[in-house]
Chain A
Amino acid sequence: MKHLLGTDTLSREDAVLILDTAAQMAATQEREMRKLPTLRGRTVVNLFFEDSTRTRISFEAAAKRLSADVINFSAKGSSLSKGESLKDTALTLQAMGADAVVVRHWASGAAQRLAESDWMAGHVLNAGDGTHQHPTQALLDAFTIRRHLVGGGTDAEATGKALEGLTVAIVGDILHSRVAGSNIPLLKTLGANVVVVAPPTLLPYGMAARTDIAVHYTLDEAIEAHDIDAIMMLRVQRERMTGGGSGFFPSPEEYTRLFGLDAERFARLADHAIVLHPGPMNRGLEISAEAADHPRSVIVEQVSNGVAVRMAALYLLLAGEEASA
């Protein structure tokens, strides 16, 4: 692998390899000395055109635990207020000798553009591009699901395995969610059944007609129709709800009534079912406190798994190159 741009082009073998490597990384994080010398002397740049403290510090922690030098580069700028261009930023990073660039950008396709242009030669790791892909998030979700529902709570039992036979529901704003954009193809690749739950206004064009996933317009209907093993609640962007007559939903209250995961709906899930959320949560909107803080909620664990998965991704991109060189 030269780059990690999305999950739609990831083979099953590569996906499982990343998950297995992440398991090894996670194991090292149990030790007293958590830092590995693997990427000593390599430079990883966190290039963030959008604010995202969580994702940035997760990548930063991952790179540092592999002993890489980390440079954080926050470039302000949006489609409306143009700051420094992506091209000029990339040329600058190239001149500084970045071995890998972790990029978060508001424009869909920005990571791919960076990887395929002649602006820079390093590895590109997509940390979220517009409303397109966020592959490490999907990989950490898959890692978490695999640990609990395939490995019975440990990674060792799950090594080499995918997610065959599991049913994963993704609930919320599918249209704008790069988390869903990466999760749906990855879950399919790993053999899971995918159930998508969203109001029709928040579904991408053509998704309702897809036959390889199940689509429901209310959460109750989805819980009724499927034996859900893992349920992933997406964050609702409040400004998308009712703004300026182009709201995707009449009100936050109605959203919660139809799509919120509350204690009552939680009780109707199977006893082994786990709850995921990419964070940050809107408690009381898409998820109730009872569900978020339930013993079968793995939301906090997702954060630590995120570091392990990002260590694995950086390791496979950068150390793999060294081995083959």
Chain B
Amino acid sequence: MSAFVIENASLYGDTTADLVMVDGEIASLSRADAPAEATVIDGSGLVALPGLVDLHTHLREPGREDAETIESGSRSAAKGGFVAVHAMANTTPTADTAGVVEQVWSRGREIGLVDVFPVGAVTVGLGGTQLSEMGAMANSRAQVRVFSDDGKCVHDPLLMRRALEYVKTFGGVVAQHSQDPRLTEGSQMNEGLVSSELGLAGWPSVAEESIIARDVLLAGHVGSRLHVCHLSTAGSVEIIRWAKAKGIDVTAEVMPHHLLLTDDSVRGYDPRFKVNPPLRTQEDVDAVRAGLADGTIDIVATDHAPHPDEDKDCEWGAAAMGMIGLETALGIVQKTMVDSGALSWRDVARVMSETPARIGLDHGHGRPLAVGEPANVTLVDPNAAWTVEPSHTASRSNNSPFGGIELPGRAAATFLRGVPTHLIPALEGASA
């Protein structure tokens, strides 16, 4: 029997209770009901949230095990407070067949640190020309429900329409990487005054916004569910707000780095700040924060994108796009949204657990902290300020742009079905 009791935790940051976890379930909210052999953890000062779910993770396996493996990525996720991640399809081979998604899924199960939900490719090889066998992936053991060509945009409007319609067969969702490829040929950073000054080819906001606008219209027309990946501009927030007001079934995610950083960071040409979509302006940062606060943006996802040193320790133009983010996401959300009063911890539970689990149809995740529910729990220490040191990550890559930045809090412990997958040292000595 596995039994833990977290005493005096603040559930959702507003109700003090005990969490008694027995055999993978929340058995009681009172320590009086805890089995005698239960491991006791002092939850004083800690906030208990339903375990975090990341709808947008790159685990790189199969194909780029030099950057990340399902194991190292799972470890990094657990350390960041996540109990489930959605592994994007842009691997080698592409996750566009039942075979590949089952392999990723079963490897995730073997490791057992987080639930790994493979995302299936919308088109064969992310080629944008032929739909992949989404039905086979949906009906495989991996039960794929989220489909995305992330890294590439499903640019052909007819193909996008077909994909949106087709996933209705199994209640799936198309998660679109909104980037007009023609408007972003050779693009290196956000198009604006900074790109002009730095002589880097611009990546205009409209390249994102025009695709989102088209896609919400398509989703509305065919009555399908659309998810917008890594929204990054003020204009995108307005389009989503408009679409929701029209009753279109659209959800949207924002990345921690787009909540915190601007294109000013690019001035040193340090490729750790090179990412797709690019870091935008302060006006955009303010708009995505406001959009997240008022519910226009549904969730925060990480877009954790590991790259080995040689792809970042080089000149800007030669560098890969992307940054790791599983271990810093929670701290950044606290810094930008909670400590500013824009979100409560209950809201954080919504945007980092409940809603991503609902979008991804992840059964057993994003559930209430209540008796009889799965014991998927993240304990947050909101008063554990720390300075990010990129090399201290559990990820196999250390391409974090947040090195040297102080974050106010972090995940102190993560429980997946009642089993601790991450415990800070102070909690490890918990008495049995």
Q: CB within 8 Å of B: which residues of A? A: 8, 79, 82, 85-87, 105-110, 112-113, 116, 129-133, 178, 181, 204-207, 246
Does B222 sit within 8 A of A, measured CB to CB?
A: no
Shortest beta-carbon distance, B189 to chain A, in Å? 10
CB atoms of A105 and B268 under 8 A apart: no
A181 to B196, CA, bound (A): 9
CB atoms of B269 and A8 under 8 A apart: no
Contact stretch, chosen from B245-253, B309-317, B369-377: B309-317
A interface majority secondary structure: loop
Given A113-B316, A206-B192, 4 other A-B residues pairs in contact with their CB atoms under 8 A: A109-B199, A109-B315, A110-B316, A205-B191
Shortest beta-carbon distance, A187 to chain B, in Å? 16
- Using Cβ atoms and an 8 Å threshold, which residues of chain B touch A82? 318
Does B385 sit within 8 A of A, measured CB to CB?
A: no
- Using Cβ atoms and an 8 Å threshold, which residues of chain B touch A85? 310, 314, 318
- Using Cβ atoms and an 8 Å threshold, which residues of chain B touch A86? 314-315, 318
CB atoms of A107 and B198 under 8 A apart: no
- Using Cβ atoms and an 8 Å threshold, which residues of chain A touch B198? 108-109, 132
Does B156 sit within 8 A of A, measured CB to CB?
A: no
| CB-based nearest B residue for A112 | B269
CB atoms of B192 and A205 under 8 A apart: yes
CB atoms of A206 and B314 under 8 A apart: no
Shortest beta-carbon distance, B282 to chain A, in Å? 15
- Using Cβ atoms and an 8 Å threshold, which residues of chain A touch B318? 79, 82, 85-86, 107
A131 to B314, CA, bound (A): 18
- Using Cβ atoms and an 8 Å threshold, which residues of chain A touch B196? 204-207
Does B256 sit within 8 A of A, measured CB to CB?
A: no
Shortest beta-carbon distance, B185 to chain A, in Å? 7
- Are A107 and B192 CB-contacts (below 8 A) given A113-B269, A130-B199, A132-B198? no
- Using Cβ atoms and an 8 Å threshold, which residues of chain B touch A131? 199-201
| CB-based nearest B residue for A178 | B199
A82 to B318, CA, bound (A): 8
- Using Cβ atoms and an 8 Å threshold, which residues of chain B touch A181? 199
Residue contacts A-B, CB under 8 angstroms, 6 given? A86-B318, A108-B200, A130-B317, A204-B196, A205-B192, A206-B193
Shortest beta-carbon distance, A104 to chain B, in Å? 12
- In the A-B complex, list the 8 residue pairs whose CB atoms are closest, starting with the nearest: A132-B199, A109-B269, A107-B317, A204-B196, A108-B199, A107-B315, A131-B199, A110-B315
Shortest beta-carbon distance, B66 to chain A, in Å? 16
CB atoms of A205 and B193 under 8 A apart: yes
List which B160-189 residues lie within 8 A (CB) of chain A: 182, 185, 188
Shortest beta-carbon distance, B380 to chain A, in Å? 37
- Using Cβ atoms and an 8 Å threshold, which residues of chain A touch B310? 85
- Using Cβ atoms and an 8 Å threshold, which residues of chain B touch A132? 198-200
Does B195 sit within 8 A of A, measured CB to CB?
A: yes
- Using Cβ atoms and an 8 Å threshold, which residues of chain B touch A109? 198-200, 269, 315-317
- Using Cβ atoms and an 8 Å threshold, which residues of chain B touch A204? 195-196
Shortest beta-carbon distance, B204 to chain A, in Å? 8
Shortest beta-carbon distance, B419 to chain A, in Å? 43
| CB-based nearest A residue for B193 | A206
CB atoms of A112 and B268 under 8 A apart: yes
Interface code B294-321, partner A: CB below 8 Å = 1, 0 otherwise?
0000000000000000100111111000
Does B202 sit within 8 A of A, measured CB to CB?
A: yes
CB atoms of A107 and B316 under 8 A apart: yes
Shortest beta-carbon distance, B121 to chain A, in Å? 25
CB atoms of B316 and A108 under 8 A apart: yes
Shortest beta-carbon distance, B423 to chain A, in Å? 36
Does B197 sit within 8 A of A, measured CB to CB?
A: yes
A206 to B198, CA, bound (A): 13
Shortest beta-carbon distance, A78 to chain B, in Å? 9
A105 to B314, CA, bound (A): 12
| CB-based nearest B residue for A131 | B199
CB atoms of B199 and A133 under 8 A apart: yes
Shortest beta-carbon distance, B191 to chain A, in Å? 5
- Using Cβ atoms and an 8 Å threshold, which residues of chain B touch A105? 315
- Using Cβ atoms and an 8 Å threshold, which residues of chain A touch B317? 79, 106-110, 130
- Using Cβ atoms and an 8 Å threshold, which residues of chain B touch A178? 199
| CB-based nearest A residue for B192 | A205
A105 to B268, CA, bound (A): 16
- Using Cβ atoms and an 8 Å threshold, which residues of chain A touch B182? 246
A82 to B316, CA, bound (A): 13
Other-chain contact of A108, B192, B268, B269 (Cβ < 8 Å): B269
Other-chain contact of A113, B199, B201, B202, B315 (Cβ < 8 Å): B315
A207 to B199, CA, bound (A): 13
A129 to B199, CA, bound (A): 9
Shortest beta-carbon distance, A179 to chain B, in Å? 11
- Using Cβ atoms and an 8 Å threshold, which residues of chain B touch A106? 317
- Using Cβ atoms and an 8 Å threshold, which residues of chain B touch A206? 192-193, 196
| CB-based nearest B residue for A185 | B197
A133 to B200, CA, bound (A): 11
A110 to B315, CA, bound (A): 5
A178 to B318, CA, bound (A): 19
| CB-based nearest A residue for B201 | A131
- Using Cβ atoms and an 8 Å threshold, which residues of chain A touch B188? 108
| CB-based nearest B residue for A207 | B196
| CB-based nearest B residue for A130 | B199
A181 to B195, CA, bound (A): 12
Shortest beta-carbon distance, B181 to chain A, in Å? 12
Residue of A113, A132, A181, A246 most packed against chain B (CB within 10 A) = A113
A109 to B185, CA, bound (A): 19
List which B253-278 residues lie within 8 A (CB) of chain A: 268-269
Shortest beta-carbon distance, A51 to chain B, in Å? 17
Shortest beta-carbon distance, A109 to chain B, in Å? 3
A182 to B193, CA, bound (A): 16
- Using Cβ atoms and an 8 Å threshold, which residues of chain B touch A246? 182, 185
| CB-based nearest A residue for B185 | A246
Interface code B195-223, partner A: CB below 8 Å = 1, 0 otherwise?
11111111000000000000000000000
| CB-based nearest B residue for A106 | B317
A91 to B201, CA, bound (A): 28
- Using Cβ atoms and an 8 Å threshold, which residues of chain A touch B314? 85-87, 113
| CB-based nearest B residue for A246 | B185
A113 to B198, CA, bound (A): 13
A123 to B191, CA, bound (A): 31
A194 to B182, CA, bound (A): 33
Shortest beta-carbon distance, B187 to chain A, in Å? 12
